[in-house]
Amino acid sequence: MTLEQQQTGSTSSGIEHNDTAWEGPLFIVGMPRSGTKLLRGLLSKHPRIRILAAETDFLPFIAEWVERQGSPSTPEAFEQFANAMSGANYFNFRPTARGPFRWQDWRAACNGRFDVSGLFEGFARYELDAERSSGAIWADKSPAYIRQIPLIMRHFPNGRILHIVRDVRDHCVSMRNAWGKDIRRSAWRWGKDVLNAHRQCLSMPERCLEVRFEELLQNPDTQMRRICLFLDLDFFAGLTELSQSVEQRGYAAGRTEIMRDNFRKFETRLTPGEIASIESLSWDCMHALGYTPVRATRQREMSSLMQYMLKLKDGAQLVKSGMARRGVAAAVRFHATHRRMAG
């Protein structure tokens, strides 16, 4: 490091930092089709933030492995653990430019810590080239971790969470358009998962921040300033603009600008009966988060049998949609792996 860099606190990477700067982890969570990719695209422009290019989803798997098998501290145990991890869907989307994945390099990046947090942090730092004390904040965008907030908080006492929330009615429209999901099950899961995450975030305001998708679209400057304040980062205007498209499906697919009108689409894309069904299945959560139902008047429950039947329906639809891209066997394996890794 040059004398000038020592005086300014910057490195050759352009990251300004000091010895006490927070370096993560940051987890971006939320229901699918709720803006997590948009948030990742905007935050990735900050010189101090490095976000894994693909969703991990395997934190629950690591926690279960360590609980059952113990910490893989020896090279032999680590190789066995890494082999079990090698089938994770993360590796289907890992950028090829990274070159071959080497478990030996992952192990070295763990810095001698082979508990749950050490294994996960080592993985992220290896994949992101984020050395300790570099000032870089390592981050992961995995929507499925909306159900793993207690697990994150337990293993990462310095971790912070950004929970992005989208209007359930637009969420259901997008889930159906993108993957053919049943809007009833989407609404039911939104009502349960978002409400749980909302309550958990309220209990830890210093570690969790909720962001409304609609507010991020309409006023990105205000919301990104709010996020930067939460993360102890300097704000700059470039954080309100995308450098490339982040979406491959739906209304914003292929667009490089923030689609400021991408909300309340449900008004023209759902029937009155569909709106009423969605609102009634997510009534309690809508009220807790300040969304106003326009058709329903109370919370409606869904039987365990109906939940199971709709789960089977959605699973079959996902496999069907994945067949065109991966083939039958690969599509089934992909979704089975996701369930095994994400818990």
For the record, the structure tokens of 333 come out as 């394996």
Q: For residues 93 and 222, what is the distance between their CA atoms, to the nearest angstrom?
A: 32
Q: Look at the alpha carbons of 332, 337, 342, 343 in this order and tell me if their dihedral is positive or negative.
A: positive
∠ at Cα 317 (312, 319), nearest 5°? 95
For the record, the structure tokens of 223 come out as 């919301």
Say if residues 212 and 165 touch (Cβ distance below 8 Å).
yes
State residue 10's pLDDT score: 39
State how far the alpha carbon of 259 is from the alpha carbons of 143, 176, 177, 244, 291, in Å: 21, 19, 17, 13, 21
For the record, the structure tokens of 297 come out as 């008047």
Say if residues 107 and 75 touch (Cβ distance below 8 Å).
yes
State residue 330's pLDDT score: 59
Using the CB atoms, write b or e for 61-96: b if 16+ within 10 Å: bbbebbeeeebbeeeeebeebbeebeebbbeeebee
State residue 320's pLDDT score: 75
Place of tokens 């697919």: 253
Nearest to 127 by CA among 117, 139, 113: 139
Give per-10-residue mean pLDDT for the chain (343 aa).
33 52 96 95 95 95 96 97 93 91 97 98 97 94 97 97 98 94 97 98 96 96 96 92 70 69 92 98 97 96 96 85 58 59 64
Global confidence as pTM: 0.88
Adjacent-strand bridge partners of 160: 26
DSSP assigned state of 310 = H
Cis ω for the linkage preceding 25 (within 30 of 0): yes
